[in-house]
Amino acid sequence: MHDFPHLFCSFYDALDDHVARENAEAWSADERLGSFAASVASDVEGGRSAGSVRMRVENHSDREAAGYAALVGIDRALRHVNTAVSLSTERPPLSLQALASFVTAQGRLDSGAAGGALLPRLVGRGRHEGNPSHKRELFANVLRVPPDSWDRVGITWVGEAAALHRHDLSGGLLLGCVPVIADPKEIDFRVREAGERRYYRISAADHAETVKRIPRILAALDEAGVLIGVAPELTLTPALLDAWQQAMRSPDRGSSRLRLMIPGSGVLTAAEGRASNTAILLDGRTGAVIARQHKLFAFDFDETELERWKLQQRLGSQALAEDLVPGRRLEVIDAGGARIAILICEDLSRLLDVGPLIRDFGVSHLLAPVFSRPLKARRWENTAGDIYVRETGTAVVVSNSLVMSSILSTEGANAMVLAPGTRDALLATSAGPADVVSFRLLPDGTAEPA
């Protein structure tokens, strides 16, 4: 079952990146190599031996070119097993049906024996210039994740009940953002001193109004038909998480299409001092916890930022650091037809640290809960998101609260979507903390307000 995925990994790892990029155009135009690739695809689909393909490559007069052609052929044949996003309703060839079932259950094509992984490709390259920037961009249907990247990331499967399938995506993926909190009275601002350093923590205050609002928010998400919902950073506590889960499990709740919900992030322990800022991903129908993502990088305020945010009365006027225990790894969530990563606020801006992992795993949807000033075009969320979109092909969804809009007495959006096929950021503003704004991500890579 895994012979051809393993052969792909072997040939791919042996293919020199510089040689591949230098010769890809000539190799692609070579009719003899094209015929070789087509014959390899036929071998894969016909259930022939992977060993015979390896032997043909090794005996070829131009082994590198033949290896590339074999990769193209294997990649072409393996399109049949990418059933979650394929527009075709035909069953895979008999020789690939067991592998297709394995991919549906495990989210990968290889067994893991080669190190790293071979994944179904869910997104194409973000940039559309003619020249590839890496050999990974030469193959349309599978993605080779290098071992070092694989070892730095946790993988979570959402489960069959929460997975997104072809019929969920064919008309566009509906996402919803909700601010949850607008009144600064529902937020706690704390400062702690340790030696010469000052630390801050911002968190939801477990205000009664916040708790009462959650069933209304969930009802609005359900009424809108949202499949994935995203709430902002710093809108979650243990008590609020419990309120979300109770609302999702309520016998009074009607029918729902909500598969996945990020009810925000926050400190979910009783620890004093430094603590993790954790985003939770819930099954949108049952409230079960699917995954946790700890914030990876702290955001520290200097004097200028404190003044710009008008937080001196709450945090003082001297520089201070976020009271954060940083997360150790990125979690990638396999949702069938979507591969999701959650970047909490400052993490979105850490392109040199996080970007290579988003790229190497072919993340299709990057969800970013933030606590920030009102979202506007060309601010940091937009400029950072643009780079992810352009370089990796992922769609970026940013969800902010209305708290800073209230503090600054400034209008601005609380939701933003950037998509590979849409030139400018889509911005939307909720009328109140329980009001959902929705976006539709279409199969052609574009996005639109919903």
Question: What is the pLDDT at residue 131?
Answer: 81
Question: What is the pLDDT at residue 85?
Answer: 62
**Which helix (H) or strand (E) segment is 353 a member of?**
helix 351-360
Question: What is the pLDDT at residue 265?
Answer: 98
What six digits make up the tokens of 398?
């940013």
User: In the chain, which residues have pLDDT < 50?
Assistant: none
User: Would you call 4 exposed, middle or buried from its count of C-beta atoms within 10 A (0-12, 13-18, 19+)?
Assistant: buried
Q: Which residues lie below 8 Å from residue 415, measured CB to CB, with a gap of 6+? A: 177, 375, 397, 398, 399, 400, 427, 428, 429, 430, 437, 439
Specify the DSSP class assigned to residue 266: E
pTM of the model: 0.95
Spell out where 223-350 has E strands: 228-230, 260-262, 265-266, 278-283, 289-294, 321-322, 330-334, 339-342
Cα angle value 316/320/323 (rounded, 5°): 115
Question: What is the pLDDT at residue 269?
Answer: 86
Tens of pLDDT, residue by residue over 381-391, are: 999 999 999 99
